[in-house]
Structure 1
Amino acid sequence: MPEATPRNIIDKFFFTVGSVLDAPTVWVREKIVEPNQKNYPWYHQKFRRVPTIDQCYTDDVVCIHEANVQYKRDKLVDNEILSILRQRFEDCTMYEAPDHLEKCTPLMRQYEEAAGNWFAKYGDLGAYHDARRAYMKQKHRMVWERRHGPVGSGMKKTGSLEE
């Protein structure tokens, strides 16, 4: 929007006074503050991804520590995602009070799937767990699935006695 030109001497006076007071502030903002700001398109700090625990050597303490810190950050993010999904489902059930069984079913399924995935990754690890223990849990689960089929599907039949 173009600036209005002053119409009379009083407008011209106030326009000049305003420009004198406003010009240093605008100059500092445009020439000093804005060029030195870090402009992120997101509202949280973005960390670089580091090697996971399976990519670290066993004697590389720094790599193991970075993997643990990243694992804990990822767990916090997964906790928040699960919390948001749970809150969406609860809000839906409160808003759609009598018909919530039909209308909120997709949200309930999405939350239950996310909760199952969260438990598969972080569940049963105890209070003081780290990336190494989570990796071992994942490895043991993969060995179990290779031998017996997917977890929760029942054990596959082996041997000739049951045939």
Structure 2
Amino acid sequence: MPSDYDKEAYPEPPRQTPAVDKQTALPNPALILSKLFYYSVDLPVTTVRGVVDGIRANNRSVYYHQKFRRVPDLTECQEGDYLCYYEAEMQWRRDYKVDQEIVKVVQERMRACHQREGSSYEQNCAREINQFNETTKNFQSRYGDLGAYASGRKCLMKQKERMMAAQTQTA
């Protein structure tokens, strides 16, 4: 500050912060409860979580690259082998989800080509359109008309019926 300032208009700030004027000698209950919660709940949970995260970081498996071993099909299961039935059903459900995603990806490619090419998409996107038509036809022939409660057993029966219908048409 310059030496010629008005000391009455601009008083100097206090040298020390004034002490809090306590009204009572009793401790603050909110402070006690917050410390109690911190030391009894928050600190142990945070410590355990840090330890668990440290262990998991060392052997982290990438969930989206999880590989399942192929299990026998329902036709290869022994009669009464319920574990084999269950594994085959889970394998069928994974295959069903993968096939759904394949159809979605092919459909997105066709739509992107349609968007990119505009009005001349029929001739410029013929490959994508054919691929989409073939993919949806294959998906429909395998999973179509299975209903809301689709299962590996229903799909197998549908495949057998389709094979029997093909046999009777050729004969």
TM bracket (short chain): 0.5 to 0.7
Tell me how far apart the structure 1 counterparts of residues 150 and 101 of structure 2 sit (CA, whole Å). 19
Deviation at 1:33, TM superposition (A): 9.3
Partner of 2:153: 132
Name the larger-Rg structure: 2
1:98 aligns with one of 101, 113, 119? 119
Determine whether 1:57 maps to 2:78.
Answer: yes
Aligned twin of 1:8: none
Match of 2:101 in 1: 80
1:66 to 76, 87, 105: 87
User: What runs of 5+ residues in structure 2 fail to find an aligned partner?
Assistant: 1-54
- Tell me the SS of whatever aligns to 1:54: helix
Normalized against structure 1, the TM-score is what? 0.66
Question: Sequence identity, in percent?
Answer: 38
Two-structure CA RMSD over aligned residues (Å):
2.0
Shift of 1:37: 5.4
Superposed, 1:4-153 pairs within 5 Å as 36=59, 43-149=64-170
Separation (CA, whole Å) in 2 of partners of 1:125 and 1:33: 41
1:44, CA displacement in angstroms?
2.0
Q: Which runs of 4+ in 1 moved over 6 A?
A: 32-35
TM-superposed deviation, 1:91: 0.6
Distance 1:63 1:43 in 2: 25
One-letter amino acid of the counterpart of residue 88, structure 1: R
Equivalent pairs counted in the alignment come to: 117
Alpha-carbon displacement from aligned partner over 1:57-77 (angstroms, at most 9, x marks no partner): 221110000000010000000
- In structure 1, the gaps of 5 or more residues are 1-31, 150-155, 157-163
* TM-score (norm. length: structure 2): 0.63
